[in-house]
Each structure stands twice: as structure tokens, then as C-alpha cells.
Amino acid sequence: MTTSLADVASSDITLRAFLHGLPGVDRVGADQRAAMLGTRSIKTTAKAQAIDLAISMVDLTTLEGADTPGKVRAMCAKANHPDPGDPTVPKVAAVCVYPDLVAVAVDALGGSGVKVASVATAFPSGRSSLEVKVSDTALAVAAGADEIDMVIDRGAFLSGDYLKVFEEIVAIKAACGTAHLKVILETGELATYDNVRRASWLAMIAGADFIKTSTGKVAPAATLPVTLIMLEAVRDFRDRTGRQVGVKPAGGIRTTKDAIKNLVLVNETAGADWLSPDWFRLGASSLLNDLLMQRQKLATGRYAGPDYFTLD
Amino acid sequence: MFEYAPAPESRDVVDIKPSYGLFVNGEFVDGGGTAFKTISPASEETLAEIATATSEDVDRAVQAARKAFGVWSALPGAERAKYLFRIARIIQERARELAVLESLDNGKPIRESRDVDLPLVAAHFFYYAGWADKLEYAGFGTKPLGVAGQVIPWNFPLLMLAWKIAPALACGNTVVLKPAETTPLTALAFAEICQQADLPPGVVNIVTGAGETGAAVVAHPGVDKVAFTGSTEVGRIIARTVAGTTKKLTLELGGKAANIVFEDAALDQAVEGIVNGIFFNQGHVCCAGSRLLVQESVQEEVLDALKRRLGTLRLGDPLDKNTDIGAINSAEQLAKIRSLSEIGEAEGAERWSPACPIPDKGFWFPPTIFTGVAQSHRIAREEIFGPVLSVLTFRTPAEAVEKANNSPYGLSAGVWTEKGSRILWMADRLRAGVVWANTFNRFDPASPFGGYKESGYGREGGLLGLEAYLDV
């Protein structure tokens, strides 16, 4: 926690006063701004640049009950070589799996530079005790996870118990050790944009390295206006504290067009400093193949069929 | 850095003829005056030669309109509606072409002509088409006035044409319309649309030319109703011309709107609203939020955010789909903006613009803000009609109202606060035709628009817009 916000979380009262003192978000205006940025026309060289950047920002994700070591190994191979026929395609940023499969992913990706992220803290609902959440995190960290994607306790947040949410994040951050902490706000359950802004600040003050929109298990997931508000939050947080926090929209980003709209949002809201996998990620699974398809189309002028891109 | 590559909208959709005549009695005819050129303000290239209508030409147009009035006003409202619906649909079908034409001739970004102007133009015709057979329920009677002489400005050429022509025709009037000298092309394209829609000849007549042509339209004894949108200066001349006649008059004139930001506003959206209020359409908007009144307690925060936001505005080729700020419409207007900005500096206000490359050719002015502006400065009182924002501060809601109302104009105002009761309190006290709450420069055909004081009189749009075209 930085000095200027050190006292904010000293009590429930100060924390509530701070979060409720943040400027409100006008839903109509925020939706309009996001929609306007969605009309930016990104073509030719800019598109090529955006596609490669987007590929390098993907957190390739599988979070299913049916996940197996074989499935995770296949996904890791894809993460390392998104297009086996074209070595100029960048690697993705990370793979994202459940804690019990972290070891498999670490083994498959050793030395590749692709990070291993693990969801934790009773993902996706977050409905368990703090002890369970901490040991869930410890399990993933011990298995070699580079990044932890935790969920906040939305029940506590919506009932106004901000301090409980704060303390959980602090505890998980401690359990992370050197692993980076992404805090999932599950904005689809927070419902209002004011809540999204408050939850963003709450997570950042508590020590989040990244704030992430969604688990992907709740609709709506990452909408453009929600990502816009989170980008405003990290921008304002850095202005205030000097510390830069990353943003990860996750869920519902399926096409190259969606990905590029997100990059435009980053570029014109938080700014160019965030246009790197260190500060912006796209949590997705099916997006990668669309990016590859559009990349090839741009290079060759032709679309290849879906059978020319690997399904993993 | 993420640089957006040029993304120009294709010019191939428009087919600009080398020269255009006047549209009188359903046909294009030669004008008696010396033809003039209309240019693209972004490149200064000549787009076409345009005929100048002399007073004899105007007379012929008024006679054609008079003759058509008998036929048109006798049609049942539902029949007139059919024509208006048809025109609205053709506008939608040709929207892309009209948007490109508007951006070429006016200099406004294609994003705005495509996403704002054209959808509103079509919506206006659809809206008033709906009224044509329901006039008896509007409360202003059903008797049209006769021939309407209409003079429109260059800032929203086709949209202002729609504001004028749609209600006039719906009520059973016929029109003689003069588009602005610098932006006649979409009005002439509209003339083609009238032909395409099989509108009876003489119902719509378009006469092009400069101020003298406009004066001839206004002064013509055969005109029953004058509608003008433009400067207060010309509005005064028109009011004098019309005085003592039986002509009905509506005027939409200048403005110096206050955009009032309270400390409890949703600040990110307020900043967007400030940008949209004054930099939309290069500030060539009569209801532009050209005076920012910001509560002193958040002044610094708002200005920092505003300056950062201005740094992301993209100035350049109006046909590029990513352009936010296009060209100033004419050399004359550019000179006026420059002169008032220099006066602002001389008066002691602090001038700021983001680093912003300016194209070599064409007429351009960077987005500019003046801080430290006082009520007594000319840039706080006079309409600049360009991308120039004057920033003033206030301490209390009462002071905000006092400063906002302390202007010879009264066209629009904006209020930014998360407190609903304050919005109502402010709206009650602001002497402005339109008060926007937590938004700015939003238009809808169902919403009346018009001014107080030197901003003019009469209302356009909505149910009230019918009153101006009926013999009440």
C-alpha cells in the first residue's frame, strides 16, 4: 500500500468513506464513450500491429470440470506455438488453469517464457472460508504458478462489508509470495458501474497487481464500458500513488474485432504505457484462433478454413 | 505506441457534377447570377460550380412554390406523409453518399456526419411524416401558412434543411430554401431526392447563392413565413426586413452556452461532455457549450483530465473514419476564430492547446481552451463558433445560475451533477431553450429546440415545431 492511501483501510468507516467518495459513473455517458471508441477503424499496418499485440496479451484459458492433464498439455503447446506453421507469431502471455493442474502446465511450459496463471480462492463463486482460500492459493503457488487469479467475495462487497473484501485480498496477496495477483471483480454480479469503480480501487489499495473483470462463468462478462471504467481506475490510481496496476478483461472476447476494440480502449483511456502484456491481458480461449485467422488473412489476402488452425 | 493507420472513407460513393443549377419547380435550371465555387475546406480543392440565384430567380421559385401550394395543401395529410416517408427512406438508403458529401463540403469528420447528422436527418423526416395526418390533435389547427422562405447555415447543412423542410411540408406548406454559400452540395443532392421521390414540382425549391439571394428570399412579398438559422447579426437584419409585414418569423441564432460542472458530477463523463459540448463539429454549433463553468473545488481535477483528454483528439482528414476534429468551414470563419482567440490572450486569459499537427492545406484550428476567463472578457460573451472553450469557475449553485444567465444569449445549457434534485433546481432557473442534464449536444426530432433572448425565437422540432408552420 502506498503512503497517500495508507490510512484508507484503517477502518471500515474510512474505507467506506473513501470508496463512496470516488466520483460517480454515469452509465449513459460511459456506454456512449465505449461505443464511440468501438467505432475506431483499425486497418492495414495498425491492424497487423494490433493482432500481434493481442496475441501476446492472451491468457489462454481452460477452466472446466472436465479439464485433464492431457487437455492442459495440449493447450500449453498451443500457447507456446500458436501457429505451428508460422514462427513469427508471438507466444501468448500465459495459460490459465485450476490449481491442481498448475504442475502440469509448469512442466509443459518450462523455460518457454509463457507464464502459468492459476485461478484460486474457491473460484468461481469465492464462497468458502479464508483458510480454504489461502490454502487454495498456496497450493497453486507451491506448484509453480507465476500468477494467481483470485475472486473477491461479492457477497461481502454487496452487503457493504468492504473491509472483509479488503482483508481477504491482503491475505491472498501475502500467500502469493512473488506470484502476481490478479483480482477478479466479477463485474457482472456487481451490477452498477459505481460498484465496478469502487471494487477496482478497493482491490488496488489492497495490493492487486492486476484487476480482472470476470470469471467467465457469469454473464455479462467483460463488456467494453466495464473495461473502460477499470482502465480509468488504474490510470487515476497511478496518478495518485505512482503505482501501475494492470487490467484483464476476461470472458466474452471472441473475435479479433473485440480484441482490437479493447486495445483502442487501452490506448485512448489509460494510454500507451498499458499496451503491453505486462499491463494488459485478454482472458479468452476461442479468441486466439480468430486472431490467427485474421493475421493470416492480412498477410496473404485470403482466409484459410478453420481446419488450418489447431483446436486444442 | 499504437498508431492508427489512415482509414479513409471512399469518395467513390459520391458523384459530384462539375456544376449545379437551381432547383425550381422540380427541375434544375440555370441561375441568372455569377456562378461561384464551393470548395472542400480540408484541401481547398474546388468541388463544383454553383449557380447564383438573382431576385428574378427567387421570384420564379416563389411563384412555383405558390402554385404548388394549392396542390400540396389540398392533399390529405396521409398522402403528404407518404412523400415524407419516402424521402426519409431514400435518405437512409443514400446515407453513406450524403455523409461523404457533407464531410467533403463542410469539413466535418465522417464519423459525425455518418453517426450523428445523417441518422438525425432521416429521423426528422420520419418524425414529421408521422405528424402529417395527425395535425388536428396537435392543438395548432390544420391550416398551413403558404410559402415558407428558409435560409440555413453551413454548420449542419443537411440537418438544418431537414429541420426546416420536414415540418413545413408535413403541415402543407411549400418551401423556397437557400442553403449556405459554402455548403450547398447536400441541399442539391436533396433536390435530386425530391425528384426521386416524385414530390410534386414546386413543393421544394432550392436557390443557391450568397447573402443577397437569402435577402431576396426573405424580402419576397410572396413569402408567408420566414425561417432562419444563422448569426444573430443576420437575424436582426431579417427581423427588420420582416417587420411590418404579415410574414411569420422564426429565428435560431447564436449562443454562448454554459456547461456547468458541479463537484459531485461523474467527472469522467463530464469531461466527455465538455469535449462533446465544444469540440463536436469543430465547435461550429450554435448551442455549443462554449463556456465551461466548473465548481472551483474541482477545477484543477477537471482541467487536468480535460487537457489529458484533448491530447487524444485526432485532428485531420474529415474523411478518415478516426478523425475527431475536422476542418474549419471557411477561411472567413477561421479568421474570426483566430481574431477572437488573440483578443482572449490580449485580455489576459491563458491559452492552451494540445500538441497537434496541423495539415498544410485547408483551414484548421487546434482544439483550444482558455483558463482564467472572467465574465467581462469578450471570449466569455461573444460567440466564437469554433473549437475554443472559455473556462470560468463558480462557488455555489446560485452563482452558477447567475453566471450562466448573464449572457445576451440563451440557447442551451448543460448541468453535470449526480444529484437529481439539483438538476431540477438548475433547469428551473436557467434561461436557455435546452438544458441538458449529464449530457450535451444530444438531439432528437421529438424534442423542441430554440432560444431565449438574442438566441432567437420560435421552436423547431417536436410538437412545438408544428406551430411555426401552421396558421394558429
- A108-154 residue pLDDT tens: 999 999 999 999 999 999 999 999 999 999 999 999 999 999 999 99
ipTM metric:
0.95
CA distance A97 to A100: 8
CB of B74 within 8 Å of a chain A CB? The answer is no
- A10-39 residue pLDDT tens: 999 999 999 999 999 999 999 999 999 999
Q: Is the link from the previous residue into A124 a cis peptide, with omega within 30 of 0?
A: yes
User: Looking at beta carbons, which residues of chain B come within 8 Å of A50?
Assistant: 2
Buried residues in A211-227 as b, exposed as e (16+ CB within 10 A)? bbbbbbeeeebbbbbbb
Question: Which entry of B9, B112, B252, B460 is annotated as an active-site residue?
Answer: B252
Which residues, at least 6 apart from A39, have a Cβ–Cβ distance to it below 8 Å?
A: B111, B115, B321
Query: At B110, which amino acid appears?
Result: I
Pick the residue of B1, B3, B4 with the most A CBs within 10 A to test the interface with A by mutation: B4
**How many C-beta atoms surround the C-beta of residue A98 within 10 A?**
20
B286 belongs to the catalytic site: yes
The answer to whether the CB atoms of B418 and A28 lie below 8 A apart is no
**Strand partners of residue B457:** B251
Locate the chain A residue with the closest alpha carbon to B111.
Answer: A39
pLDDT of residue B101: 98
CB B394 within 8 A of CB B372: no
- A183-196 residue pLDDT tens: 999 999 999 999 99
pLDDT of residue A6: 79
CA distance A261 to B16: 35
Strand, helix or coil at B356? coil
Locate the chain A residue with the closest alpha carbon to B440.
Answer: A29
Q: Measured between alpha carbons, how far apart are the two ends of chain B, in Å?
A: 61
CB of B59 within 8 Å of a chain A CB? The answer is no
- Full DSSP string of chain A: --GGGTTGGGSHHHHHHHHHTSPP--HHHHHHHHHHHTT----HHHHHHHHHHHHHHEEEE---TT--HHHHHHHHHHHH-SSTT-TTSPPPSEEEE-GGGHHHHHHHHTTSS-EEEEEESSTTTT-S-HHHHHHHHHHHHHTT-SEEEEE--HHHHHTT-HHHHHHHHHHHHHHHTTSEEEEE--HHHH-SHHHHHHHHHHHHHTT-SEEE---SSSSS-S-HHHHHHHHHHHHHHHHHHS---EEE-BSS--SHHHHHHHHHHHHHHT-GGG-STTTB-EEESTHHHHHHHHHHHHHHSSPPPGGGS---
Residue A88 has pLDDT above 70, yes or no: yes
Q: Residues for chain A: how many in total?
A: 312
CB A72 within 8 A of CB A105: yes
pLDDT of residue A1: 44
- B230-241 residue pLDDT tens: 999 999 999 999
pLDDT mean over B439-467: 97
Q: What does residue B438 show for φ and ψ, rounded to 5 degrees?
A: 55, 30
The answer to whether the CB atoms of B418 and A26 lie below 8 A apart is yes
Percent of chain A with pLDDT over 90: 95
A22: left (phi over 0), alpha (psi -120 to 50) or beta: beta
Buried residues in B47-59 as b, exposed as e (16+ CB within 10 A)? bbebbbbbbebbb
Residue B386 has pLDDT above 80, yes or no: yes
Model confidence band, residue A2 (pLDDT cutoffs 50, 70, 90): very low
CB B20 within 8 A of CB B105: no
- A146-161 residue pLDDT tens: 999 999 999 999 999 9
Sign of CA dihedral A176, A178, A179, A180: positive
Pick from A299-308, B36-45, B270-279: least confident: A299-308
Of B158, B183, B151, B156, residue with least CA distance to B37: B183
The answer to whether the CB atoms of A39 and B111 lie below 8 A apart is yes
Helix (H) or strand (E) holding B394: strand B388-394
User: Looking at beta carbons, which residues of chain A come within 8 Å of B264?
Assistant: 23-24
Residue B61 has pLDDT above 70, yes or no: yes
Model confidence band, residue A3 (pLDDT cutoffs 50, 70, 90): low
pLDDT mean over B363-391: 97
Q: What letter would DSSP give residue B3?
A: P
Model confidence band, residue A5 (pLDDT cutoffs 50, 70, 90): confident
The answer to whether the CB atoms of B438 and A29 lie below 8 A apart is yes
Question: Which entry of B9, B112, B171, B286 is annotated as an active-site residue?
Answer: B286
Average pLDDT along chain A: 96
Pick the residue of B9, B112, B269, B324 with the most A CBs within 10 A to test the interface with A by mutation: B269
A76: left (phi over 0), alpha (psi -120 to 50) or beta: alpha
pLDDT mean over B301-316: 98
Residue B289 has pLDDT above 80, yes or no: yes
Strand, helix or coil at B49? strand
The grid coordinates of residue B410 equal 440563451
CB of B95 within 8 Å of a chain A CB? The answer is no
Average pLDDT along chain B: 98
The grid coordinates of residue B3 equal 498508431
**Strand partners of residue B295:** B394
CB of A232 within 8 Å of a chain B CB? The answer is yes
pLDDT of residue A312: 79
Classify burial at B70, counting beta carbons within 10 Å of its beta carbon; exposed 0-12, middle 13-18, buried 19 or more. exposed
Residue B1 has pLDDT above 90, yes or no: no
What's CA B138's distance to the chain center, in Å?
Answer: 26
CA distance B158 to B40: 16
User: Looking at beta carbons, which residues of chain B come within 8 Å of A264?
Assistant: 2
* β-sheet with B174-178: strand ranges across: B27-29, B22-24, B204-206, B174-178, B147-151, B225-229, B248-252, B456-457
CB of B438 within 8 Å of a chain A CB? The answer is yes
pLDDT of residue B133: 98
CB A22 within 8 A of CB A201: yes
The answer to whether the CB atoms of A43 and B7 lie below 8 A apart is yes
This prediction has a pTM of: 0.96
